[in-house]
Amino acid sequence: MIKALLGVGILSTLISIAIIIFIIVIVILTFLAINNLHRLPKIQDSIENIEKHLRFLAKYERERLIKEGYITQDADSNASPINHYANSGDTWICKKCGDRNLSLSSYCKGCGTYK
């Protein structure tokens, strides 16, 4: 009888500990999820910055090629792979300011309006 009661006591204690650990894990996972949601706009900004740098490099490279006589001034500016990417279906155009944005970004890089 005492042994049985002791057994139930230990079992309920173990269940209580398991429930507490479960709750702690859920709280930690929720905290991590919220933390990563806050990082999403930063990741989008990084992608946009990379795109800006690539555009700048493409423009710089084009100017260099013109300067060195490899291509002419009136050469198709859309021939650049980066511009090709920007003109593909992976972008959206802002209704407010007409800026072209990556489909990954949920807001306009020009005016901040949401897609």
Give the nearest distance from C-beta 100 to Zn ion in angstroms. 9
Q: Which residues contact Zn ion (rule: CB under 5 A)?
A: 94, 96-97, 99, 108, 110-111, 113
C-alpha count within 13 angstroms, C-beta hemisphere, residue 112 = 0
Find the shortest distance in angstroms from Cβ 18 to Zn ion: 52
Tell me whether residue 16 or residue 87 sits nearer to Zn ion (CB atom).
87
- Sort 72 into a burial class: Cβ within 10 Å, 0-12 / 13-18 / 19+: exposed
Q: Considering the complex, what minimum distance in angstroms separates the CB of residue 98 from Zn ion?
A: 7
